Structure 1
Amino acid sequence: MRVNMSMAIVAMTDPASANSFNWSVQTQSVILSSFFWGYVILQIPGGELASRFGSKILLVLSIGINSAASLLLPVAAHYGGWQLVCACRVIQGLSQGFVYPSMHCLIGKWVPLEEKSRLGTLVYSGAQLGTALQLMISGYIAEYWGWPAIFYTMGCFGVVWTVVYIFIGSSSPKTSKIISEEEKSYIEHSLGQVGEQKKLKTPWKAILTSLPFLSLLIVHCGHNWGFWTLMTEIPSYMSKVLGVDIKSNGVMSALPYIGMYLMSFPLGFTSDYVLKKKWVSITTSRKISNSISQYGPAIVLIILSYAPADVTIAVSLLTLTNCLNAGHYTGYLLVHIDMAPNFASTLMGITNCIANIVSLIVPLVAGVILKDETDPGDWRKVFFVASAIFVICNTIYVIFGTSERQKWNEPVEDSANDKNSSDHKAEKVV
């Protein structure tokens, strides 16, 4: 539901399509960015709410609201034009602000330390599988049933998911009714979560003045710029520069994300294996993975900028770009949990909030750069900007980033309170 507009808008503005709209490139850029207007607002509150009240209710609300907005969007477009379409996308963005902080909270509570890289990768790579499937089927749906069916299909899937998750979902192993006591004990002992968990006060000052955290924030922003350049603009690049029709456009646009999804698994298992063998530190492992995910695509995008306007060459290079980008699953994405598992959802909320302000800007900047969508020279500028940001942001992370557990993960005042409480109990015993 986050990315379906990237494909749908190609059909919505195609004069040959039924119920099409005469929207300029700038208007299309506003529509593509409008999701992020709402998305950035609830990231930080979402992280705090997930850590305090659990993730289940937030995920149910998020997907439920998104499904309703998706089902209403075609009617909104017909009666309210692009303005009401933007309103629906803002609502979807607002409610999806809970998703990533909640997922980070769930991984922190459900995934044993020994399996974090591969299971974290399995969870987050689902986004790429969903994106690939969405891109592949959207073209055919638009061709045979019209573009409104794209939103109706996703809305119905979302409703089904929400109903199922209400019955089987759980915020933590402790509250789950469908796993065995043995599995629950294994997870809780691995994560040190046996017994009642304390509600810690978020050390905002320590977090926001932490250089390793600020470098993590920067690399997240850099990743989002490059990734969302590809996500929002590639369908238009395929259509306008390469002349690929809507059905083939979807399949061609999906291949890079299928590659990313498949590549994520060997990277996840390799990362866990390397750490198990203690060949490198966890910090070094994360930095190697992240460098693959950002330096690699930066180089390939520059090559793409000068490659002939050939479909096979372009799709091959874009697929390679996304395959390399899969390294971020075992890179910066897990560093939030490495640095401070007690505040992983809050850290993710902060970085995802700022990084998605960057995502909001990406299609607007592309709209300014692309004076002529059919000009490969204009697209070269878009790709060059993405490459430069990839390189600069990852370099900052490599220099200043770390996966070492931070002191503020256990706030001093809580430790002091525990000590005073213990001393007081000892005095009473004496």
Structure 2
Amino acid sequence: MVDCEPQDVAALKPERLLGMRHVMAFLMFLATTVSYATRVSMSVGIVAMTSNNSYGHPVFDWSRTTQDTVLSSFFWGYIILQIPAGHIAGRFGGKYLMLASMGITGIVNLVLPIAAVKGDYMAVCGCRIIMGVSQGLLYPSLHGVIGQWVPITERSRLGTFVYAGAQLGTIIELLTSGLLSASSWGWPSVFYVAGIMCLGWSVIWIILGDSSPATSRWISKKERKYIEMNAGSSELGHGKAPTPWGSILTSLPFWATLLAHCGQNLGFWTLLTELPSYMKYVLNVDIKQNGQLSALPYVAMYVLSFFFSWLAEFLVNRNILRLVTSRKIFNSIAHWGPAVALLGLSYLPGGNLSLAVIILTITVGLNGAHYVGFMLSHIDLSPNHASTMMGFTNGIGAVFSILAPLSVSFVVKDETSASDWRKVFFISVAFYFLTNLFYLLFITADVQEWNEPKPSKTIEDGEKKSEEKNPEKTRNNVGEHKF
């Protein structure tokens, strides 16, 4: 990476308000939006699939345990390719991995309704596992592409924009799935719409998407230079930098990021996969209202995530807070805020629908701060290995995503019992609190020394010989690569 003074980097910034990096951010935003919509589709869809009010479409007599098995099956496949995908994306770029992820997801969604009729819940689980395997390629690739395309000074804003697509996808799916399921088209239309959206995105991505500015046909030379000078990524390029596994796995800041990711996944996915069921069995909300009320907390998360990203970027760029302090503050908002709100929800008297929805909205809304917390720590620590690190933490975190619906099946004996659901919320509270505490103690925002590859012995020997032969030239070139 070439070192530049801040004023020199600012001078390189293109005059146009929107550049190719913004187009890439928008495409990645659409990827997270559509991919999360396909994940969430089953959360509402399964309620319709097991409901008598299906407008002539097949109804499945699945027990609570079977339903939780279906809901968790996505994550069985999701963990398989996380680490390999991160490694491959880190070395060769994420463009085609993202294309494969979204394309396969689209096809599986189109097949799922037929598979459900022909093969019952086992076939549905098979489809969800394949979908999980394919989407396991997405986030490690996204993280690597963001690390290559997004300058440090814009990382909080554009990074949040990309990942907040997950909340928009959740909102759209929770709103539309209930409406589609309750219409004459029935629950199959939920999966058909999701599949078409995935394939549509894939066509646009193959035309405009690229792993890095260096491989883009559409970017201007000035914008490319501005990004490369201000992204913290190596000019070495993909495929040439070995992964320093020993340094990564013995790094406390990396472990702080990993544990924060695990705590986030358990708490978030417990709510995401089980919220529709909680609304139905505890709050007695019908399928149509279910999708609308279930979406409200994610509307709050989506809106607040942009406020948090703007505030974080403002505080850091104005030198009011150090970057690491910003990461700690917003990650604490994202973890400890929901923990406190969940404690309040646990002791809420039964029948108080309005207050329950308000608390759930606060719980999920505050969680939007994690986009400028641990989610960007991978890139802070090592832009060159961000995709590999993201694959590792997302893979381990996915195990806790699997445990989320399964823990509900294990803990909740009576689906209408508020006290049983309280135990589920207590588990999430404990994970939120303890994992963020570790994050506060050990995280840093400094680029780690293992981010850059060490020069080989051959290169070092060559440099020494060159200096011995041309000492005058060496002295004249000192500082040559400093702007």
Matched, 1:175 2:212: no
CA distance in structure 2 between the partners assigned to 1:417 and 1:239 by the alignment: 67
Q: Which has the larger radius of gyration?
A: 2
- TM normalised by structure 1 equals 0.97
Residue 82 of structure 1 corresponds to 121
Match of 2:386 in 1: 344
Aligned residues: 429
The answer for unaligned runs of 5 or more in structure 1 is none
1:163 to 200, 203, 222: 203
Mapped pair 1:123 → 2:162: yes
Aligned to 2:415: 373
Is 1:391 paired with 2:430?
Answer: no
Task: Specify the SS of the correspondent of 2:455.
Answer: helix
Pair 302,416 (structure 1): closer, same or farther in 2 beyond 3 Å: farther
Q: 2:147 & 2:458 partners in 1: Cα distance?
A: 25
Q: Equivalent of 2:249, from 204, 208, 226?
A: 208
Cα deviation digits, residues 130-156 of structure 1 (max 9, x gap): 110010000010011110110001001
Asked if the contact 1:67–1:156 (Cα under 8 Å) also holds between the matched residues in 2, the reply is yes
> What pairs with 1:17-416 in structure 2 (closer than 5 Å)?
17=54, 18-144=57-183, 145-191=185-231, 196-197=236-237, 199-308=240-349, 309-411=351-453, 413-414=454-455
* Aligned-pair CA distance for 1:306: 1.4
Q: CA deviation at 1:415?
A: 6.4
CA gap of 1:278–1:243, structure 2 versus 1, over 3 A, is same
Superposed CA offset, 1:369-401 (max 9, x none)? 111111111111111111111111111111122
**Structure 2: how far apart are the matches of 1:151 and 1:102?**
25
Structure number having the greater helix percentage? 1
Moved more, 151-160 or 196-205: 196-205
Between the aligned partners of 2:212 and 2:442, the Cα distance in structure 1 is 33
- Identity over the aligned pairs, expressed in percent? 50
Q: Would the aligned equivalents of 2:178 and 2:291 in 1 still touch at CA under 8 Å?
A: yes
Matched-pair contact (CA < 8 Å) for 2:91–2:241: no
Q: Is the 8 A contact 2:232 2:383 kept in 1?
A: no
Q: TM-score, normalised by structure 2?
A: 0.86
RMSD: 1.5
What SS class does the counterpart of residue 195 from structure 2 fall into? Answer: helix
What is the CA–CA distance in structure 1 between the aligned matches of 2:384 and 2:235, rounded to whole Å?
A: 15
With over 3 angstroms needed to count, the CA separation of the structure-2 counterparts of 1:418 and 1:256, relative to structure 1, is farther
Q: Distance in 2 between matches of 1:161 and 1:102?
A: 16
SS of residue matched to 1:133: helix
Distance 1:416 1:358 in 2: 43
Deviation at 1:325, TM superposition (A): 0.4
Partners in 2 of 1:402 and 1:221 — Cα distance? 18
State the shift of 1:429 in Å: 5.5
Contact 1:341 1:409 in 2 (8 A): yes
Checking the alignment, whether the CA contact within 8 Å between 2:339 and 2:428 is kept in structure 1 is yes
Q: Distance between the aligned counterparts of 1:170 and 1:283, measured in 2?
A: 30
Structure 1 residues 21-62: Cα deviation after superposition (integer angstroms, max 9, x where no partner): 010111111111100011001000111111111111001100
